[in-house]
Amino acid sequence: MTMTNERPVEIRSKVTINVDGNDVDVFEGDTILDACNAAGKTTPTVCYGPTVTPVNACRVCVVELEGSRTLVPSCSRPVEDGMVVKTDSERVDHSRKMVLEFLATSSDVSQADDIMGWLGDYGADLDRYDVATTARMTDEVKIEDDLYIRAYDRCVLCYKCVEACGEDAQWTFAIAMTGRGFNNRIGTEFEVTLPDSACVYCGNCVAVCPTNALQFKTEFDLRKMGDWRPEDQSVTRTVCSYCGVGCNLDLHVQDNQIVKVDSPSDHSITSGNLCVKGRFGYQYVQNRPG
Amino acid sequence: MPELAVTSATATADEAAAVADSIALQSPGQITFDSIGPTLTFDGDRIARSGSERIFNRRHLLLPVLHHVRNAIGWLSEGAVNEIATALQVPAAEVYGVASFYELFTFEAPPSPDTIHVCDDTACRIAGANDLIGELRSDGHCVHGSPCLGLCEQAPGVFVQRTGQAHVSVRTATKESVVAALDGELMRPVAPVPQVAEDLTLLRRVHNAANEDYDGYVATGGYEALTKAVSMTPADVIAHVGDSGLTGRGGAAFPTGFKWSAVAGEPGPRHLVVNADESEPGTFKDRVIMEHDPYSLVEAMTIGGYAMGAEQGWIYIRGEYPEATRALKSAIAEARSKGMLGDNVGGHNFRFDIELRQGAGAYICGEETALLNSIEGYRGEPRNKPPFPTTNGLFGQPTAINNVETMVNVNQIMLMGGEGFAQQGSGRSTGTKLFCLSGHVANPGVYEVTYGATLRDLLDLAGGTTGDPRAVLMGGAAGSFIDMTMLNVPLTIEASREAGFSLGSGVIMVLNNTVDFDDFVARIARFFQEESCGQCVPCRVGTVRQSESLLRIREKGAPVEAERVMLDDFAKVMADASICGLGHTASGAVLSALDLGLIGGAS
């Protein structure tokens, strides 16, 4: 499902699919994930996001579909009338548990709250992996400017940032998936630094990152000092004052300082996206006289 | 020109010339862009699209241009990538992302203009490939250990990637023959297959060297199948293919007639793609066909184009097949010059042409949707299915993708009629089948038999096994090991499935008790680890965890029982939740080796 701003021009008919024994009515063109949500099922997702095209790479949202030899990714499989789906089978639980074990043994997911929660929910057993013989992403943090950092040892290669930099939001194409297999990395050409690359610092990649591999430099610095305190932060919604578009901004404030800016992903104007000014140009707010 | 932000690195004059040359080479003439669809360009905008909108003018030239620059210069510099990005209007990060996906492209000047890729996979590994690598390295050559090069019957196999000169393969390679090849000495030809012409149907022409040019091909009955086809309606041709019971020979055994009628039923333009990215370890049958009977593939594709109303044919051949590539290039060019490809094929009032595209070292591009992405100039990452290529294939248009051997069978079907063809073999297994025998057999090579021959029959044809046979790898790395109790199983789709193994691409690799199975199976696991595209988590991480587990058993003496629990868990998630067949089959050989007690000392 590509996100577009076009209004639906045809009336969508409803289809019925069965989720764990209960019939659910959803619209034609919806995904199995939509149906699972409608049925009140909680489905873990990593590479899925409401504002980006699902690449269905993480496979944590898989469900069992009657008639299909393999499990199917619920986030991108369109519903068909009469589908019978199981979300709580042994196969589904096994695959989700294993995907979570794979993610947590290859990347640092400690700042990915959702993933940390699901690890417990699905009974992931990380202790059975021998640390000495288990390969991980060990990339150094890339600090190339004062706006955001890239900590690829936290990256789960979900492609969301690539999509946001490219066709789903910014159309800048500063980053791409590079390499192959376990050596896959999100990167610029020849790993040139962001200031040298095509990056325009919209930060839309930061907004969609599910693991904090991309984070505001302010957050990174505070975390380093052990002073990142989300529980002490307030979020103030306001309208960006730079131009007339009217993007909503959520200002995350800690100790009376703006430490992070984002925009609600369901906002009709931004879909969570901002430009460099809206996302990073907030210092003037704090320029107090004296 | 739209603004495309690139770094300040600029191309050298040679690099810029190589980019310009390659684009000039690719331009009009050969490929009719009209048949792909209108080009999309936006004044003042960046040109980049995907999905069904991947129809724009130059992105699909990316892989050919990368090849051309690599072959002219020897590597890809930042300046060269910027030049390519600007010329094709593809963002530099994406050019780099695509190029870094493939094994045959490097981003540092190589120490030597010739890179020697020595196959150290399966059949070549047990034929002393590692010793050869050691010898070449100690003499200071630039050597790269390679996955299977499809030269298993003439192991060890070598592919020499040259700069400014044509690539070559070296077969039954020794240090001396590799060095001779670097000096330009050509390979001495050997018999293409061990069987004599009288015993061959599909391969009946391969011994006849004359048939490598157009007149020779026609003199041996070439183009009779096309003549027969165009005397029928396209629908009748498809009906014959359906009646023949022909199934895909690449490994999946999908009914070809079903695929063709699905594509023919979709609105055009349509494409016919031949999958010649033969990379399954132990497989070399398609190489033999392409090297020794290239016109038969051109003819069969032309019939397919006529039958499905597909005006554009594509052959995607692996980059490590230099001789087959040259044979096909010359056959396509000559067929075109004789009017057998082009706007009015043979005066029969239909249009069909073939574009040849080379892979660049990526097993995954043999997966059909990865192959399509590769042709389109994207990373060779498989697409999620559905939708299937029959409706949303190349450039989002209806596409039939067939393996080389499958395709060439179409000529036989035209000559024999669908029902006549179906009388060979039985059930779902009709026609003749090519098997690739390698490893510990007296006469390795491609053997053609009518479906129904047993494993014992095949081994007898190959002169029997050598040494004390311990196991047979069936179907390649994506297949499984069987032991010598299976000798009487008929090698049909049905019987092999019942016996618990798959014929896959027809690999029969015999392994005697001199083989270090721990090492052999670990190499197979490493193969999947290195060839996984990395797109989905189960396969990207699972193939690595599987390798690590085998190494723990082998090198650290880890208890097999505990590792087996892990290996079963890895296998299950890869089979259940991976995007494509690579992940689905990445554990088959490993688990079967454990089941047979070939590794880990358990039984």
Residues B323, B291: contact at Cβ < 8 Å?
A: yes
Same domain, B272 and B368: yes
Q: What is the CATH number of the domain that holds B471?
A: 3.10.20.600
Burial class (CB in 10 A: 0-12, 13-18, 19+), B48: buried
Q: Does an H or E element contain B158, and which?
A: strand B158-161
Taking CB atoms and an 8 Å limit, are B566 and A128 in contact across chains?
yes
Residues B539, A59: contact at Cβ < 8 Å?
A: no
Residues in chain B with CB shorter than 8 Å from the CB of A63 are none
Same domain, B355 and B470: no
Q: Which DSSP letter does residue B185 get?
A: P
pLDDT (average), residues B9-14: 95
- A178 bridge partner residues: A185
Q: Which DSSP letter does residue A269 get?
A: T
Q: Return the number of other C-beta atoms located less than 10 Å from residue B123's C-beta.
A: 31
Closest CA to A158 of A205, A96, A222: A205
Same domain, B521 and B456: no
What radius of gyration do chain A's Cα atoms show? 21
DSSP B383-410: PPSSSPTTTS-GGGS-EEEEEHHHHHHH
Same domain, B256 and B405: yes
A contact residues 3-62, partner B, Cβ 8 Å cutoff: 55-60, 62
Domain boundary among B366, B391, B423: B423
Q: Which DSSP letter does residue B586 get?
A: T
> Confidence class of residue B347 from pLDDT cuts 50, 70 and 90?
very high
Instruction: With H, G, I as helix, E, B as strand and everything else as coil, classify residue B298.
Output: helix
Matching residue, tokens 């490893």: B439
CA B383 to chain centroid: 18
pLDDT of residue B28: 41
Taking CB atoms and an 8 Å limit, are B96 and A189 in contact across chains?
yes
Q: How many residues does chain A have?
A: 290
A contact residues 233-272, partner B, Cβ 8 Å cutoff: none
Whether A71 and chain B come into contact, CB under 8 Å, resolves to yes
State the Cα angle at B564 between B563 and B568, rounded to 5°. Answer: 120
Q: Flag whether B87 is in a domain.
A: yes
Taking CB atoms and an 8 Å limit, are B529 and A198 in contact across chains?
no
HSE of B188, CA atoms in CB hemisphere, 13 A: 4
Q: Flag whether B242 is in a domain.
A: yes
Closest CA to A73 of A95, A90, A40: A95
Whether A76 and chain B come into contact, CB under 8 Å, resolves to yes
Same domain, B339 and B206: yes
Terminal-to-terminal C-alpha distance of chain B: 67
Domain boundary among B423, B455, B480: B423
pLDDT of residue B47: 33
Q: Flag whether B191 is in a domain.
A: no
Rounded Cα–Cα distance for residues B316 and B358 (Å): 6
pLDDT of residue B184: 87
Interface test with A, best of B4, B532, B543, B545 (most A CBs within 10 A): B545
Same domain, B505 and B523: no
pLDDT < 50: residue spans in chain A:
1-3
Asked which of A249-253, B44-48, B318-322, B394-398 is least confident by mean pLDDT, the reply is: B44-48
Domains and CATH numbers, chain A: 1-6+13-136 (3.10.20.740), 148-286 (2.20.25.90)
Residues in chain A with CB shorter than 8 Å from the CB of B540 are 102, 157, 181-182, 184
Residues B408, B419: contact at Cβ < 8 Å?
A: no
Taking CB atoms and an 8 Å limit, are B534 and A182 in contact across chains?
yes
Rounded Cα–Cα distance for residues B504 and B249 (Å): 8
Q: Flag whether B565 is in a domain.
A: yes
CA distances for B195 relative to B324, B451, B461, B504, angstroms? 20, 16, 8, 22
- Give residues with Cβ within 8 angstroms of B180, minimum separation 6: none
Beta strand pairing call for A248-254 and A234-239: antiparallel
Closest CA to B262 of B142, B379, B388, B351: B388
Rounded Cα–Cα distance for residues B298 and B404 (Å): 10
Q: What is the CATH number of the domain that holds B357?
A: 3.40.50.11540
- Give residues with Cβ within 8 angstroms of A173, minimum separation 6: A165, A166, A198, B46, B48, B91, B93, B94
Q: Flag whether B248 is in a domain.
A: yes
pLDDT of residue A137: 96
Q: Flag whether B1 is in a domain.
A: no
With b meaning 16 or more CB within 10 Å and e meaning fewer, what string describes A169-184? Answer: bbebbbbbbbbbbbeb
pLDDT (average), residues B560-586: 97
Containing structural domain, residue B475 = 426-512
- Structure-derived torsion over alpha carbons of residues A117, A121, A123, A127, reported in degrees to the nearest 10: 10
**Each residue of B145-161: pLDDT tens digit?**
999 999 999 999 999 99
pLDDT of residue B141: 94
Matching residue, tokens 């997702």: A45
* Chain B residue with Cα closest to A185: B97
Interface test with B, best of A74, A173, A200, A202 (most B CBs within 10 A): A173
- A25 bridge partner residues: A16
Matching residue, tokens 């001396």: B176
What is the average pLDDT score of chain B?
92
Q: Return the number of other C-beta atoms located less than 10 Å from residue B118's C-beta.
A: 28
Domain boundary among B423, B457, B489: B423
Q: Does an H or E element contain A36, and which?
A: helix A32-38
Rounded percentage of chain B residues whose pLDDT exceeds 90: 86
User: Residue B2 above 50 pLDDT?
Assistant: no
pLDDT (average), residues B455-474: 97
Rounded Cα–Cα distance for residues A18 and B298 (Å): 49
Whether A156 and chain B come into contact, CB under 8 Å, resolves to yes
Same domain, B372 and B314: yes
User: Residue B30 above 80 pLDDT?
Assistant: no
Rounded Cα–Cα distance for residues B238 and B303 (Å): 10
Interface test with A, best of B54, B77, B100 (most A CBs within 10 A): B100
Taking CB atoms and an 8 Å limit, are B7 and A196 in contact across chains?
yes
Interface test with B, best of A55, A59, A71, A137 (most B CBs within 10 A): A59
Which strands, in side-by-side order, build the sheet including A248-254?
A: A234-239, A248-254, A257-262
> Confidence class of residue B603 from pLDDT cuts 50, 70 and 90?
very low
* Chain B residue with Cα closest to A178: B97
Peptide bond into A73 cis (omega under 30): no
**Each residue of B218-252: pLDDT tens digit?**
999 999 999 999 999 999 999 999 999 999 999 88
pLDDT (average), residues B584-596: 97
Taking CB atoms and an 8 Å limit, are B545 and A95 in contact across chains?
no
pLDDT of residue B42: 34
Report the number of secondary-structure helices (H) and strands (E) in chain A.
7, 12
pLDDT of residue B211: 84
Q: What is the CATH number of the domain that holds B577?
A: 1.20.1440.230
Rounded Cα–Cα distance for residues B531 and B539 (Å): 10
> Confidence class of residue B48 from pLDDT cuts 50, 70 and 90?
very low
CA distances for B341 relative to B212, B296, B299, B302, B477, angstroms? 17, 13, 9, 8, 37
Instruction: With H, G, I as helix, E, B as strand and everything else as coil, classify residue B184.
Output: coil
More confident residue, A167 or B69: B69
- B158 bridge partner residues: B118, B170
Closest CA to B2 of B39, B43, B41: B43
Same domain, B241 and B161: no
List for chain A the helix, strand, coil content (%; round to 5).
30, 20, 50
Same domain, B435 and B563: no
pLDDT (average), residues B204-217: 91
Same domain, B398 and B281: yes
Domains identified in chain B, total number: 5
Residues in chain B with CB shorter than 8 Å from the CB of A95 are 538, 572-573, 576-577
Peptide bond into B281 cis (omega under 30): no
Q: Flag whether B187 is in a domain.
A: no
Whether A91 and chain B come into contact, CB under 8 Å, resolves to yes
What ipTM, to 2 d.p.?
0.95
Taking CB atoms and an 8 Å limit, are B534 and A179 in contact across chains?
yes
- The torsion angles phi and psi of B529, rounded to 5 degrees, stand at -60, -45
* Amino acid letter for position A225: M
Rounded Cα–Cα distance for residues B278 and B504 (Å): 12
Same domain, B326 and B409: yes
Rounded Cα–Cα distance for residues B253 and B426 (Å): 14
Closest CA to B222 of B234, B211, B232, B230: B211
pLDDT of residue A5: 52
Instruction: With H, G, I as helix, E, B as strand and everything else as coil, classify residue B132.
Output: helix
Residues A174, A74: contact at Cβ < 8 Å?
A: no
Same domain, B230 and B362: yes
Q: Flag whether B603 is in a domain.
A: no
Whether A167 and chain B come into contact, CB under 8 Å, resolves to yes
pLDDT (average), residues B315-322: 97
Residues B471, B596: contact at Cβ < 8 Å?
A: yes
What radius of gyration do chain B's Cα atoms show? 23
pLDDT of residue B38: 38
Rounded Cα–Cα distance for residues B118 and B129 (Å): 7
pLDDT (average), residues B269-287: 97
* Amino acid letter for position A223: R
Facing residue for B50 by CB, picked from A167, A175, A198:
A167
